[in-house]
Structure 1
Amino acid sequence: MNPKVKVRLRILAILTTLIWMIVIFRFSMDTGTSSHELSDLCVRIFNKAVYSFTGKDLTISITPEHYALIELFFRKLAHMSIYFVLSINVMIVLFTFNIKMSLKMFISALFCFLYALSDEFHQMFVDGRGASFTDCLIDTSGALLGIIAALILYCILYTLMTKYQKRKGLIKGAYD
């Protein structure tokens, strides 16, 4: 890859990573009440989707305890999702450096874990919120899934790029 393109990609990837970290921080600033309202909105949208496909209203069909479990599931899925995206961003940054893939994966996982810890620490100071090491582990599991997704995308793009370069006569021998 052209060194100038690599530097531009690195800068862009760092900027998108920082922006995503700010998004996570902003979500952590939500009070317990507004965070609960956002989760409740997601569950209501899910309930409407279930109703349109099955004709069943979850608020009537299941117990309040089970409905609360659905909301908890959406909250934890949100944790996983935002760290899934963060780890992909971090991996893109790391793809612009010439270091071993295993080290890239480790750095990304460690970075996301430490950011999750700092995020949970930050929530200790937000009204109606608290720190949860379990949430930190859920965040990290989302990050690990993101690392896997980034590796799959990297392999696909690398294969396509190599085939393209071979077809254009830029490289010889690989992927006959």
Structure 2
Amino acid sequence: MNSKNFIKLWLPVILWAGVIYFFSSLQTNNLDAPFSLSDFIIKKNAHVFEFALLAVLFFRALYQSFKNKVFIKNAWLTFGFGILYAISDEFHQRFIFGRTSRLRDVVIDGVGILLALLFLKILMKYKDKYKRIYHFIFGK
């Protein structure tokens, strides 16, 4: 793989992982904030979205970078990477004022990863209908 392809495929993964890290680094003052169900739902949906996007970007880079075009193998590697990053994200939050580290958030991140993989599997099935998206993710 040449450096241009490496940058095209892996830089988005690195940048999005950096965005997740940045948001995890933001301090909060949960002690003064009253519990809000809508705030909780928004935050947990953000977890799902950010890890779903990370999974799509990682899968795309993996699938297009190597000769292994077996969906299930790339899906397992993507899931493993995503869960490890979710665990490291929660560990990182332990050291940020006002943040907590919860296994529940890793599970929610895992749901985002699984939804992304489901989306990718469905996209493979309907590749003729969604050609542009398919070629962006799976290449030509």
Quick check: TM above 0.5? yes
CA shift at 1:32, angstroms?
1.8
**Residues 102 and 18 from structure 1, CA distance in 2 versus in 1: closer, same or farther, beyond 3 angstroms?**
same
The TM-score with structure 2 as length reference comes to 0.79
The answer to which structure has the higher helix fraction is 1
1:43-62 equivalence runs, <5 A = none
The alignment's C-alpha RMSD in Å is 2.7
Quick check: 1:88 aligned with 2:56? yes
SS state of the match for residue 32, structure 1? Answer: coil
Relative contact order (alpha carbons < 8 A, sep ≥ 6): 1 or 2 greater? 2
| 1:130 paired residue among 96, 100, 110 | 100
1:29-44 equivalence runs, <5 A = 29-33=25-29
| 2:67 paired residue among 98, 101, 112 | 98
Task: State the distance in 2 between where 1:158 and 1:131 align.
Answer: 43
Letter matched to residue 123 of structure 1: Q
CA shift at 1:125, angstroms?
0.3
Quick check: 1:15 aligned with 2:24? no
**Residues 158 and 8 from structure 1, CA distance in 2 versus in 1: closer, same or farther, beyond 3 angstroms?**
farther
Task: State the distance in 2 between where 1:154 and 1:81 align.
Answer: 21
CA shift at 1:157, angstroms?
4.3
Which string of whole-angstrom CA distances, capped at 9 and with x for unpartnered residues, describes residues 34-59 of structure 1? x9xxxx9xxxxxxxxxxxxxxxxxxx
Quick check: 1:146 aligned with 2:121? no
The TM-score with structure 1 as length reference comes to 0.64
Q: Which residue of 1 aligns with 2:136?
A: none
Flag structure 2 segments of 5+ consecutive residues without an equivalent: 133-140
**Corresponding pairs, count:** 128
Task: State the distance in 2 between where 1:18 and 1:158 align.
Answer: 30
Letter matched to residue 90 of structure 2: E
Q: Which residue of 1 aligns with 2:21?
A: 25
**Residues 148 and 11 from structure 1, CA distance in 2 versus in 1: closer, same or farther, beyond 3 angstroms?**
farther
Q: Larger Cα Rg: Structure 1 or Structure 2?
A: 1
Flag structure 1 segments of 5+ consecutive residues without an equivalent: 41-63, 162-176
